[in-house]
């Protein structure tokens, strides 16, 4: 009989998680993040499929010959993973899939299925490996689960480090190498056909890996519809810089035909300076403007709506938050402010401005005494200091004409929440102003949400009538809101009028505005922004407005920080009636894709749940009852685990500033300590088996009440401290969360080991359904309700476990048979 | 003989027959009419093929016309496009010649189509709406920024006196130029270059249509628009134009913009009122 290759299982688990994250990264570059999410989520059904196959084959660790075959299975699976990881990606790149054409090209669905099928293969193989491990070590499932979890946590670390050091085209080398390591660890003298088979497979794997390295990786075929592809077609376009990190692939393109001036007034008649375009994962991410120490070359920036603030308060200290490139920084510099502080949350962009592009900008971000740029998030920066400013300005949000197609609908954004605006407002000097701008889209949504955000912030912060401290203007493409710490004087109002008149902008609202002023230059069918502002400023009609407006324009809060989420489920029939089926997805791709993914996963789910049952011996009614209980128990566990993971990722983005950092840290902590918890579950006594459930529920209550204050306290710490604190905060919960699954599986395994593959499939299915469902829930109900949902799920799981456990035959009265 | 039997039974039989009784010269003479008949048959067959090809071409043309008429009625008229000259132009221009060959069958569908290089030919309704919004006269001179496949320029070519069109991607520009030549458009002038700067040599223009996505309206284009002129700019991603911006320059030179949503959304307002 072969000795179980725990190192191989560790490497396969490591490889699988690293592969998943790397695939997501590569897919985000060649296509779009949300399509990547959908494709990979559906492909993860490979895990569930592996459970079904193992149940169908009825593989059991029975006879000696069968036992020896396990060695060969492990070896072959590792080898096939090594082969299929690059091959599937290579073939997928040949598929002409274009997500935008899904609405009318039926063959695109065929291509999409091709993607699913291809990417399902590696996950299916990995699932088979882990499932077989559970079957082989059915007496010690906790150890297998521990090895699987610790391998997964290491996978997160490896992928994260790879993003820093390995160029995207070579990234697949990492999971390939890891599967090769697993292959090497599969060596067993007793099993799998002996040394000769092993030597041939290992040598072939080594040759394949070497060929792949010599080939130089896989060149990425970026979609022709991505910003970078368009830009590189411009005359004289040149890719000037390419850098990568976990934040993404940062590229800089130069071309004489590149000109960016967001929402520029139509009354501006002069030229604009030369620029270079920034792209993150192939998507436009602002521009860098050439500066030759001549301020007059920046005059065009005074013809944008965001410049209004500079005409109201001068001189003064300016704070620019999230400048997106450096348009706002140069805008304030043009006006002659001598104390400009800018907070750039994207460290890679800041390094670029201060490094490779410093000659293009005349070193303005390194050596200019008036400008200071710092890498931080707005909330983080303000939490650590008491300075006050005369102008606080936020960069432009949204995209031109909703050009992004709402792909950011489910992205957490803690910069645009009521709590964030309150924080900004508190850092204003008396008579200071806070300004924020958004692209206008049609039907109106993003700027309207900015208006509601401004109004509700003022309501919490000022004692006087809100309308006296609020102003808003719009051009053909952008809108700007201004919140004053104090009230707008008649002189201020006059300045706003002059600013708009000179540039062909329309006022949306200011104290004493006349309806005739609001729809003069940029004519709407009805002055919707003005009408909405009037309704929103009146507390009595505000709720009615939120309820009746076709989109969700309620201001985001820290609990639901989704500024770009406008979709209202209650309005779906109305939207279908007015916009038509083809239009809805384009309003909010990100959100629709989540629903689409959930539907697809649920369509496949019954196959993976019910098919294996045909292969398990039919039994009496109690046995059927047992099946139902098992299904419910393990589904509850999977859902609860993933819901908590989703909730913590959302919350820790607030602390760590970027989804990728939060995702990596949370998955790493949860999997690592769950693995340790799984191992510790072996030593639980009979009475102790209820401990993990109780501990989990108590800890969830603790997080509900204490997490937010703790995160706010930690906000100003260094990254290292933040990360260590996050691990320390989550470790106890993760430790206990790792126990219920092996405990339950062991009970089932002792009773009937035929159920193991089926339960493995259920676990795989839950790990696909739960993240998607969790994302939808958190967007719609927020963080706290999702925590309560998880609490309830664990409570039900506990009740089910209680109903299963006492009936389990015990080998030992004091210990659970592990 | 043995070898022959091993072959296909029928072939073997024929060969055997021929070998057994080769035709005498008299019989060969008798076969001449047969050869003539065979030749005649082939000639008639070829004639039939040619004529049926002609008929099929005619029927293809009739079919295309039918498709175009259907497109105009279903996609344009029913959605409110009224301008007769725009409708007539769209009825006339063979849209299928402006899309890549693999999309020919979908050319008259109610959706945009890729034309390569990350560009698209817009949904027929969007193109028609843009042309209608321009309210162009027969005597107008129009400028188009972003030729793409050349379809929009061709439609404009039937509506106005002259069309100047600029394409930044050489491959697309060249292909569009060939199409104009093939279809005999004499009033369309194409240039491959940067449309941002407009075409000062032929300015001012009565009408300007911009089909490239931009974060701002290029100041040179505003300058090259005649007083009393109109400009249309679509806003959105290449596959879904969410908004059309109509820029009007009054006789005094005052500029106003109008935001036009290509789908009906009027009841939005009284939902909450």
On whether residue B42 sits in a domain, the answer given is no
B chain contacts of residue A540, beta-carbon cutoff 8 Å: none
On whether residue B137 sits in a domain, the answer given is yes
Q: β-pairing, A478-484 with B255-260?
A: unpaired
Tell which of B240, B249, B250, B267 to mutate to test the A interface (max A CBs under 10 Å): B240
Q: Is the pLDDT of residue A818 over 50?
A: no
Q: Which residues pair with A393 in a beta bridge?
A: A320, A435
The helix (H) or strand (E) run that includes residue A110 is helix A107-136
Tell which of B99, B118, B255, B262 to mutate to test the A interface (max A CBs under 10 Å): B118
CATH number, residue A447? 3.40.50
Question: Do A274 and A324 reside in the same domain of the chain?
Answer: no
Q: A459 exposed, middle or buried (CB, 10 Å; 0-12, 13-18, 19+)? A: middle
Q: Is the pLDDT of residue B34 over 70?
A: no
Q: Which of A225, A270, A477 is opposite residue B238, by nearest beta carbon? A: A225
Select from A560, A590, A611 the last residue of a domain: A560
Please write the tens of the pLDDT for every residue from A108-117: 888 988 988 8
On whether residue A586 sits in a domain, the answer given is no
Question: Do A275 and A308 reside in the same domain of the chain?
Answer: no
Query: What is the pTM assigned to this prediction?
Result: 0.85
CA dist A773 → A41, A169, A514, A792 (Å): 11, 32, 48, 16
DSSP structure class, residue B144:
E
Cα–chain-centroid distance for residue A741? 26
On whether residue A275 sits in a domain, the answer given is yes
Question: Is there a contact between A234 and B118 if contact means CB atoms under 8 Å apart?
Answer: no
Question: Is there a contact between B196 and A259 if contact means CB atoms under 8 Å apart?
Answer: yes
Residue of B nearest to A286 (CA): B215
On whether residue A129 sits in a domain, the answer given is no
On whether residue B165 sits in a domain, the answer given is yes
On whether residue B139 sits in a domain, the answer given is yes
**Half-sphere exposure of residue A292: CA atoms within 13 angstroms, side-chain side:** 6
Please name the residues between 6 and 35 in chain B that touch chain A, using a CB distance below 8 Å.
none
Residue of B nearest to A444 (CA): B268
pLDDT category, B29, cuts 50, 70, 90?
A: low
Question: Do A717 and A683 reside in the same domain of the chain?
Answer: yes
Predicted local distance difference test score (pLDDT) of residue B241: 66
Nearest CA to B156 out of B184, B179, B124, B134 is that of B134
Predicted local distance difference test score (pLDDT) of residue B31: 57
Nearest CA to A506 out of B258, B217, B266, B235 is that of B258
On whether residue B116 sits in a domain, the answer given is yes
Question: Do A548 and A646 reside in the same domain of the chain?
Answer: no
Question: Is there a contact between A224 and B257 if contact means CB atoms under 8 Å apart?
Answer: no
CA B169 – CA A161 distance, rounded (Å): 40
Peptide bond into A580 cis (omega under 30): no
Question: Do A672 and A797 reside in the same domain of the chain?
Answer: yes
Question: Do A240 and A337 reside in the same domain of the chain?
Answer: no
Question: Is there a contact between B194 and A403 if contact means CB atoms under 8 Å apart?
Answer: no
pLDDT category, B10, cuts 50, 70, 90?
A: very low
Q: Compute the CA torsion angle B3, B9, B10, B14 (nearest 10 deg).
A: 30
Across A531-686, where does the E strand assignment appear?
none
Percent of the residues in chain A that have a pLDDT greater than 70, as a whole number: 90
Predicted local distance difference test score (pLDDT) of residue B15: 34
Select from A525, A560, A595 the last residue of a domain: A560
pLDDT category, A815, cuts 50, 70, 90?
A: very low
Q: What is the number of CB-based contacts under 8 A between chain A and chain B?
A: 149
On whether residue B40 sits in a domain, the answer given is no
Question: Do A555 and A666 reside in the same domain of the chain?
Answer: no
Please write the tens of the pLDDT for every residue from A746-800: 888 777 777 787 888 888 888 888 888 988 899 889 999 999 999 999 999 998 8
B103 touching A (Cβ < 8 Å): no
B218 touching A (Cβ < 8 Å): yes
Minimum mean pLDDT among A3-12, A20-29, B26-35, B178-187: which range? Answer: B26-35
CA dist B128 → A26, B81, B87, B89, B156 (Å): 39, 7, 8, 10, 10
A chain contacts of residue B116, beta-carbon cutoff 8 Å: 224
Q: Which of B216, B237, B255 is opposite residue A405, by nearest beta carbon? A: B237
Say if CB B176 and CB B154 are below 8 A apart.
Answer: no
pLDDT category, B269, cuts 50, 70, 90?
A: very low
**What is the per-residue DSSP string for A287-353?**
EEE---S-GGGGGGGGGSGGGHHHHHS-S-EEEEE--TTTHHHHHHHHTT-SEEEEEES-HHHHHHH
Say if CB B155 and CB B211 are below 8 A apart.
Answer: no
Question: Is there a contact between B118 and A233 if contact means CB atoms under 8 Å apart?
Answer: yes
On whether residue B211 sits in a domain, the answer given is yes
Residue range of the domain that includes B153: 64-271
Question: Do A724 and A651 reside in the same domain of the chain?
Answer: yes
Please write the tens of the pLDDT for every residue from A281-332: 988 888 888 888 788 888 999 999 999 999 999 888 999 997 766 788 888 9
Question: Do A337 and A255 reside in the same domain of the chain?
Answer: no
Predicted local distance difference test score (pLDDT) of residue A489: 94
DSSP structure class, residue A685:
B
The average pLDDT across A241-245 equals: 92
B chain contacts of residue A225, beta-carbon cutoff 8 Å: 118, 237-239
Residue of B nearest to A527 (CA): B269
Residue of B nearest to A304 (CA): B216
Q: Phi/psi zone of residue B114: left (φ > 0), alpha (ψ -120 to 50 degrees), beta?
A: beta
B chain contacts of residue A259, beta-carbon cutoff 8 Å: 196, 216, 218
On whether residue A455 sits in a domain, the answer given is yes
B chain contacts of residue A223, beta-carbon cutoff 8 Å: 118
CA B181 – CA B154 distance, rounded (Å): 11
Question: Do A238 and A336 reside in the same domain of the chain?
Answer: no
Nearest CA to A192 out of A83, A78, A56 is that of A78
Please write the tens of the pLDDT for every residue from A419-435: 999 999 999 999 999 99
The average pLDDT across A50-62 equals: 74
Please write the tens of the pLDDT for every residue from B115-153: 888 888 888 998 999 999 999 999 999 999 999 999 999
| Total structural domains within chain A | 3
Cα angle value A145/A755/A668 (rounded, 5°): 20
Q: Which residues pair with A541 in a beta bridge?
A: none
Strongest mean pLDDT among A363-367, A581-585, A591-595, B76-80? B76-80
The average pLDDT across B77-100 equals: 92
Residue range of the domain that includes A739: 637-806
CA A790 – CA A784 distance, rounded (Å): 10
Question: Do A711 and A801 reside in the same domain of the chain?
Answer: yes
Say if CB A84 and CB A102 are below 8 A apart.
Answer: no
| Total structural domains within chain B | 1
More confident residue, B215 or B177: B177
Say if CB A183 and CB A200 are below 8 A apart.
Answer: no
| Min Cα separation B63/chain A (Å) | 22
Predicted local distance difference test score (pLDDT) of residue B106: 86
B chain contacts of residue A521, beta-carbon cutoff 8 Å: 255-257
CATH number, residue B246? 3.40.50.150
Minimum mean pLDDT among A269-278, A745-754, B48-57: which range? Answer: B48-57
On whether residue A724 sits in a domain, the answer given is yes
Question: Do A762 and A702 reside in the same domain of the chain?
Answer: yes
Q: Is the pLDDT of residue A480 over 80?
A: yes
Select from A560, A585, A608 the last residue of a domain: A560
The average pLDDT across B16-32 equals: 49
B237 touching A (Cβ < 8 Å): yes
């Amino acid at each position: 009989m072969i000795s179980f290759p725990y190192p191989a299982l560790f490497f396969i688990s490591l490889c699988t998680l690293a592969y998943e994250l790397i695939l997501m990264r590569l897919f985000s570059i060649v296509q779009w993040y949300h399509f990547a999410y959908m494709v990979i989520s559906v492909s993860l059904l490979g895990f569930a499929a592996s459970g079904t196959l193992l149940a169908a084959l009825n593989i059991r660790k029975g006879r000696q010959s069968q036992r020896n075959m396990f060695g060969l299975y492990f070896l072959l699976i590792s080898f096939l993973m090594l082969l299929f990881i690059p091959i599937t990606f290579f073939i997928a790149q040949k598929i002409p899939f274009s997500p935008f054409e899904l609405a009318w090209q039926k063959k695109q669905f065929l291509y999409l299925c091709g993607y699913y099928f291809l990417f399902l293969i590696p996950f299916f193989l990995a699932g088979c490996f882990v499932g077989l491990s559970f079957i082989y070590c059915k007496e010690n499932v906790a150890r297998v689960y521990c090895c699987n979890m610790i391998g997964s946590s290491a996978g997160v670390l490896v992928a994260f480090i790879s993003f820093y050091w390995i160029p995207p085209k070579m990234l697949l080398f990492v999971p390939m190498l890891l599967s090769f390591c697993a292959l090497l660890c599969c060596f067993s003298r007793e099993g799998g056909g002996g040394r000769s088979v092993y030597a041939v497979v290992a040598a072939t794997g080594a040759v394949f890996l070497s060929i792949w390295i010599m080939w130089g990786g896989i060149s990425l075929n970026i979609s022709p519809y991505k910003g970078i592809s368009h830009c590189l077609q411009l005359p004289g376009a040149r890719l000037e810089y390419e850098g990568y990190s976990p934040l993404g692939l940062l590229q800089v393109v130069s071309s004489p035909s590149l000109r960016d001036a967001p929402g520029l007034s139509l009354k501006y008649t002069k030229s604009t300076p030369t620029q270079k375009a920034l792209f993150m994962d192939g998507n436009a991410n602002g521009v860098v403007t050439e500066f030759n120490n001549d301020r007059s070359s920046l005059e065009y920036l005074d013809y944008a709506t965001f410049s209004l603030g500079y005409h109201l308060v001068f001189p003064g200290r300016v704070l620019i938050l999230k400048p997106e490139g450096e348009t706002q920084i140069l805008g304030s510099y043009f006006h002659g402010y001598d104390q400009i502080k800018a907070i750039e949350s994207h460290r890679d962009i800041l390094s670029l401005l201060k490094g490779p592009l410093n000659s293009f900008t005349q070193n303005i971000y390194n050596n200019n005494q008036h400008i200071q740029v710092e890498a931080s998030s707005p909330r983080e920066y303000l939490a650590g200091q008491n300075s006050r400013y005369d102008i606080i300005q936020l960069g432009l949000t949204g995209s031109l004409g909703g050009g992004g197609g709402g792909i950011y609908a489910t992205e957490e954004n803690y910069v645009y929440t009521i709590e964030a605006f309150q924080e900004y407002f508190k850092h204003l000097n008396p008579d200071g102003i806070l300004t924020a701008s958004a692209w206008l889209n049609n039907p109106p949504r993003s700027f309207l949400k900015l208006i509601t955000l401004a109004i509700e912030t003022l309501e919490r912060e000022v004692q006087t009538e809100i309308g006296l401290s609020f102003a808003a203007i719009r051009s053909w493409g952008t809108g700007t809101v201004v919140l004053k710490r104090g009230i707008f004087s008649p002189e201020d109002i006059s300045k706003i009028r002059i600013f708009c008149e000179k540039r062909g902008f329309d006022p949306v609202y200011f104290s004493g505005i006349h309806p005739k002023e609001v729809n003069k230059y940029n004519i709407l069918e009805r002055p919707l922004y003005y009408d909405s502002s009037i309704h929103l400023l009146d507390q009595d009609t505000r709720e009615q407005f939120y309820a009746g407006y076709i989109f969700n324009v309620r201001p985001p809060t820290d609990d639901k920080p989704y500024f770009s989420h406008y979709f209202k489920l209650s309005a779906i029939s109305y939207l279908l009636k007015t916009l038509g089926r083809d239009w809805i997805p384009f309003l909010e791709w990100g959100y629709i894709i989540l629903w689409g993914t959930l539907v697809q996963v649920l369509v496949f789910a019954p196959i993976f749940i019910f098919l294996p049952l045909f292969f398990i011996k039919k039994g009496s009614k109690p046995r059927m009852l047992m099946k139902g209980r098992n299904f419910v128990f393990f589904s509850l566990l999977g859902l609860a685990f993933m819901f908590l993971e989703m909730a913590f990722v959302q919350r820790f983005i607030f602390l760590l500033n970027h989804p990728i950092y939060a995702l990596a840290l949370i998955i790493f902590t949860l999997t690592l300590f769950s693995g340790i918890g799984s191992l510790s579950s072996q030593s639980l006594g009979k009475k102790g088996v209820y401990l993990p459930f109780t501990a989990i529920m108590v800890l969830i209550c603790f997080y509900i009440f204490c997490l937010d204050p703790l995160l706010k306290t930690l906000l100003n710490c260094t990254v290292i401290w933040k990360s260590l604190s996050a691990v320390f905060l989550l470790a106890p919960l993760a430790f206990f969360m790792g126990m219920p699954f092996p405990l339950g599986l062991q009970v089932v395994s002792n009773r009937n080991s035929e159920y193991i593959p089926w339960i493995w499939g259920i676990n795989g299915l839950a790990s696909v359904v739960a993240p998607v469902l969790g994302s939808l829930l958190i967007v719609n109900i927020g963080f706290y309700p999702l925590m309560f949902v998880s609490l309830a799920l664990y409570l039900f799981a506990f009740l089910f476990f209680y109903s299963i456990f006492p009936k389990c035959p015990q080998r030992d009265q004091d210990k659970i048979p592990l | 003989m043995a070898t022959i039997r091993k072959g296909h039974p029928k072939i073997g039989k024929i060969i055997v027959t021929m070998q057994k009784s080769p035709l005498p010269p008299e019989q060969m003479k008798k076969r001449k009419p047969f050869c003539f008949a065979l030749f005649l048959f082939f000639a008639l067959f070829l004639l039939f093929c040619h004529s049926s090809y002609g008929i099929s071409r005619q029927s293809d043309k009739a079919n295309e016309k039918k498709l175009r008429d259907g497109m105009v009625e279903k996609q344009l008229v029913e959605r409110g496009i009224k301008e007769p000259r725009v409708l007539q132009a769209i009825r006339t221009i063979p849209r299928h010649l402006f899309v890549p060959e693999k999309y020919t069958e979908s050319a008259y569908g109610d959706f945009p189509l890729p034309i390569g290089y990350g560009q698209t030919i817009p949904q027929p309704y969007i193109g028609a709406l843009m042309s209608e919004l321009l309210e162009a006269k027969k005597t107008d001179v129009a400028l188009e920024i972003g030729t793409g496949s050349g379809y929009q320029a061709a439609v404009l070519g039937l509506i106005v006196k002259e069309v100047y069109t600029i394409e930044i991607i050489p491959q697309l520009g060249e292909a569009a130029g060939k199409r104009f030549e093939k279809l005999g458009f004499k009033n369309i002038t194409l240039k491959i270059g940067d449309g941002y700067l407009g075409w000062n040599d032929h300015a001012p223009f009565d009408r300007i249509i911009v089909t490239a996505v931009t974060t701002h309206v290029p100041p040179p284009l505003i300058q090259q628009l005649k007083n009393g002129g109109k400009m249309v700019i679509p806003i959105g991603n290449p596959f879904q134009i969410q908004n059309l911006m109509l820029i009007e320059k009054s006789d005094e030179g005052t500029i106003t913009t109008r935001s036009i949503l290509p789908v009906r959304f009027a009841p939005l307002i009284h939902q909450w009122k």
